[in-house]
Every structure is written in structure tokens, then in C-alpha cells.
Chain A
């Protein structure tokens, strides 16, 4: 028997090789395709990661030469390339005013600050118009903010008075808290002047706001503005103030109420509340017939008139000055005193006009002093409502002058108001 390889086996082997080669080729090709697919996924993931790594913040936005001047800080770990600026004029309501620009030199390295973004934009912008701006990066990230406009949606505004209850004529602090509860940065936050809300029974006078402006407010951040407000009024008088933002969302404001309380002053407690009437010591001057002299050196034994500024520091009540108001002078080492009474006026030549007036009560309470107001008080008459002069003591040396102010707090000269008396000490002169 001769063993021979059959031809059919050769043919079968050929076919087997063909089939195997095809299979191997297909598998190889599939692996290549899968590899490409894998690479694409990796590349796509990398791009997505880059998008999330790209971070930047708008640190300030101003208008320079009627163009946007945006400062951006790259806070991420990748360079940021700004490819588009969209500007929308929000005041255009009947038509769309939307422009897009491709900025130049708009690449910011990680950690660096890109300035003057928007200065290359050709369009002239009105500094009084509100604009909405959107920055677009090459990776598709955007940052939107408003210029000269707070927002298209109301912001969280709170207004607090600390304290809300103050004695009349005292000052309280108003704190305005503005929280950016939107998703975009708002720029140029400027508070409007505080407005009076409703019908106030107290007079509230706001001071200047501090700070006057926030350049930017990122989402979630809070801006704080403060005012000093002087509130004047009677007991339980109040005023309600309203705070809002310039170019803000309609009806987006906050209110707070300040209540005043009057300083208590009764006939039995007035001695505990001295200081309601004060004089300005720097205005103290005298005349002996040759003009007013602001000096504490005064010749002795000479007819003298004195003048000084008296202020009613009571916040709500009018003070009526009695004709018994006088100044007592006493030279050191002397037992005698000299009294000089209030006069209606004393001329620079020393002529005394008596403290008189018509009506009831006779020649008394002639002069009134409104809350917070001042007057020139003349002292030098020889008695209540008399027009004669008084000489200074005849001794020489240091002399104390005690001013005794009598009167009443009332609503009218003839009323039965609250009587009040007060001494104002420590007017020092020296007689020679």
C-alpha cells in the first residue's frame, strides 16, 4: 500500500488558510477600529475635562472712550482664549440691538489677568444705557454680566437699621445687603439715594453711602452698602426708608423703618438732664462801648455787655427764655457778686435794649429758641426787663462767671409748658 496525500486535503487546507486569513484580517481590522474609537473617546474626554478646567472671572467692567473695558482673571489651569463678545442693548425694547465681535489679543495665561478686553470693539456705546455682555471662549464656556444694569431678574436686597429705635436727633446706621442670586455676574452696583416710603412722622436725614459702588458682584456674593441716618421726631415717631439700585429691576427694593424716642425731661428730672442748653464758648465776647472784643481780659468797674451763642439742644421742643436769665460774676477772694441780666440786645457801643415784649406774660418769655437752633444771648442789663447797664466788679483778678438760664419748654409763649432752668458754668474772665 502506498500512502499518498489526497488532493482533497490540499484543497481543504487552501480553503482553511483563506478562511483563517480572512478571520484574522477582520479581527485585526476590528481591533484597529476599536483603537481609533478608543482614541476618539479619550480625546473627547480630554476636551470635556478641559472645558471644566477652564475657569475665569470678570474682575471689573468699565466704560473707557465709550467702549467696554473688561478685566478678566484666568483662575483656571488652562489658557483661556476669548473668541466672541456679545453685546445686547437692554434699553432697546422694540427692536433687537445685539452685536457680536471677535476680540483681538484675547488670550489669558493661567493665573494672569487680561485687561482692556472690549476696547477693540468698533461700536460706540452709550455710557448711560444698560448693556448685557456675554464672553465666549474657544472651548465654548461663557460668562454673562450686565453693564450699567443690575439684572434682568430681581436681586435679593435687604435693608437693615442698626439700631431701628434711636433717641430723637441721634444717628442710626442703615445697612443694605445685595446678594447676587442670579447665575451671572452683575456689574456697577450703585445704590439709589434712600427714598422715603409712605408718610413719615419723623424726619430722617441720610448721609452719604459707603461704598458708593461695587464694580462687580459674582453669583452668590453679597455687596454691603451703609448710610448714617439722623432721625428726628417725637416719641414713637417713625420713618420708612427704601433702598434700591440704579438701573435695577422694577420694584426690586427693600424697606426699613426707624423709630425715634424723645429724651425724657420732666420738672422733677430736669436736674438730671442738664446740658439741654449750651453755649459756644468761642463766641463769648464783651463790649464796654468800643466794639465787641473776644477776650477774657476785661477792665474792672466798667459798664459791660456780654454776648454769646446759646443753643437749644432739645430735639423736639421750643425753649422760651425768661427775663430772669442772668450771669453772676465773682472775683477770686471777694465775697461780693455782680449780677447782669439778659437784654434783648446790646449794641457794640454798649447800649442796652431791655428784654421786653407785649402780651402775656408781661415782658417775659419774649424770645423763643426752636429745637436745635441757636441765638445770640446778650447779658448786661441791670435787672429783669430793665435797660440799664451794669459795671463789672471793681476788684481785679481771676473771675468766674456763672450763666443761669431760666425759661420753659412750651408750644407757645403764654402756655403752661415745662419750666426749665439750667446753669452754664465755667465762663472764666480776668479783671484788671
Chain B
């Protein structure tokens, strides 16, 4: 006489355990990876949105340009540029370029922070030419560029 006893095989338990472990490990990994990616995207989005929003909101103007003659003393002229913040967020003047038809200089600015509704004077030696148009280009740290022209007859 033959008896068939129904028994759960050990291999099934092991297999299930292995499967659960694998699912847990892989799932955790995938979730962690996804979260990491999401965090990265989020950070990028935050940075980009913040920069662009601030760039949109920053409103620098070149309020006045003075071509200063100084030749009796040193033989070198200079340019005074007054930059005013008429917007609602502060900005940093990063670069000022002064040029005319024959020459061009670019000055990297340190300490060019201009708070809202305030002005800052930037002065640089520059041999401007009588009767020639001098172009002043101001670039902020966020990349906003404004320009103005002046001429001494």
C-alpha cells in the first residue's frame, strides 16, 4: 500500500524568501534611485527657477555716465558709471565693459552688490576720445546686461 503525504517542500520556502528578498532589495534600490533622481531634478528646478525668477525681477539701470577729463594732471581720463537698482531684488554687478571704436576694456567687479532702490558708483580709468561715442555695458551676476552711451563733444 502506497501513501501520498502532501508536504510543503523546503525549496518553495527558500525560493519565496529569496524572491521576497530580491524584490525588497531591488525595490528599495529603485525607489532610492528614483528619489535621488527626483531630488536632483527638484534641486535643479529650484535653482533654475530661483535664478530665472530673480533675473526677471532684477532691474538695473545705468543712471548716469560721466566722462571725466583728467589730462592736465595725469594724462588719463576716466569714466564714472552710476548703476541704480530700481527693482525689488538685489543684484551683483559682475562685469563692466567700456568701449569705443578703437578700444575696449572689461573690468571684473568685486563688491558690486546693489540693494533695491539704491545706487553704486563705479569708476575706471579709460582714455575716452572727444567726439567719439563711448559705450558702457554692465553685466550682473545673473547675466542681465544693460548698456548706455556717452560722448564728450
Contact = CB atoms under 8 A, between A and B. Distances in A.
Q: Do A and B come from one complex?
A: yes
B87 A11 contact: no
B23 A8 contact: yes
B56 interface: yes
A11 B23 CA distance: 8
A26 B38 CA distance: 7
A41 to B, nearest CB: 6
Contact of A138 (B23, B68, B117): B117
Contacts of A152: 153
Given A18-B31, A140-B84, A152-B153, A86 B117 contact: no
A26 B39 CA distance: 9
Interface in B15-74: 16, 19-20, 23-24, 27, 30-31, 34-35, 38, 41-42, 45-46, 49, 52-53, 56-57, 59, 61, 63-64, 66-72
A95 B23 contact: no
A12 B27 CA distance: 8
Interface residues of A, number: 38
B19 A95 contact: no
Contacts of B82: 100
A19 B45 CA distance: 19
Interface string A133-174: 010101110100000000011000000000000000000000
A136 B42 CA distance: 41
Contacts of A8: 19-20, 23
Interface string A167-184: 000000000000000000
A44 B45 contact: no
A7 interface: yes
A33 interface: yes
Contact of B63 (A43, A84, A93): A84
B153 A30 contact: no
Nearest to B151: A152
A30 B57 contact: no
Given A15-B30, A88-B66, A139 B86 contact: yes
Contacts of A36: 49, 53
A33 B27 contact: no
A37 B86 contact: no
Interface in A52-68: none
Contacts of B67: 96
A151 to B, nearest CB: 10
A41 B56 CA distance: 7
A22 B56 contact: no
A95 B80 contact: no
A15 B84 contact: no
A11 B24 CA distance: 7
* Among B45, B53, B59: residue with most chain A CB under 10 A: B53
Contacts of A95: 68-70
A291 B59 CA distance: 93
B30 to A, nearest CB: 7
* Among A15, A94, A134, A139: residue with most chain B CB under 10 A: A15
A407 to B, nearest CB: 62
* Among B16, B20, B63, B82: residue with most chain A CB under 10 A: B63
Interface in A74-101: 83-84, 86, 88, 93-96, 98, 100
Contact of B86 (A41, A86, A94, A138): A138
A131 to B, nearest CB: 14
Nearest to B78: A96
A29 interface: yes
Contacts of B63: 84, 86, 136, 140, 142
A40 interface: yes
Nearest to A22: B38
B74 to A, nearest CB: 12
B84 A136 contact: yes
A47 interface: yes
Nearest to A25: B38
A140 B80 contact: no
A18 B53 CA distance: 31
Given A8-B23, A139-B86, A22 B34 contact: yes
Contacts of B24: 11
Contact of B80 (A7, A34, A40, A96): A96
Contact of B35 (A22, A30, A41, A136): A22
Contacts of B20: 7-8, 11
A4 B37 CA distance: 36
20 contacts: A7-B16, A8-B19, A15-B30, A22-B34, A22-B35, A26-B41, A33-B45, A34-B49, A36-B53, A37-B49, A37-B53, A40-B52, A40-B56, A94-B69, A96-B69, A134-B64, A136-B84, A140-B84, A140-B86, A142-B63
What 4 pairs across the A-B complex have the smallest Cβ distances? A96-B68, A140-B86, A140-B61, A40-B53
Interface of A: 7-8, 11-12, 15, 18-19, 22, 26, 29-30, 33-34, 36-37, 40-41, 43-44, 47, 83-84, 86, 88, 93-96, 98, 100, 134, 136, 138-140, 142, 152-153
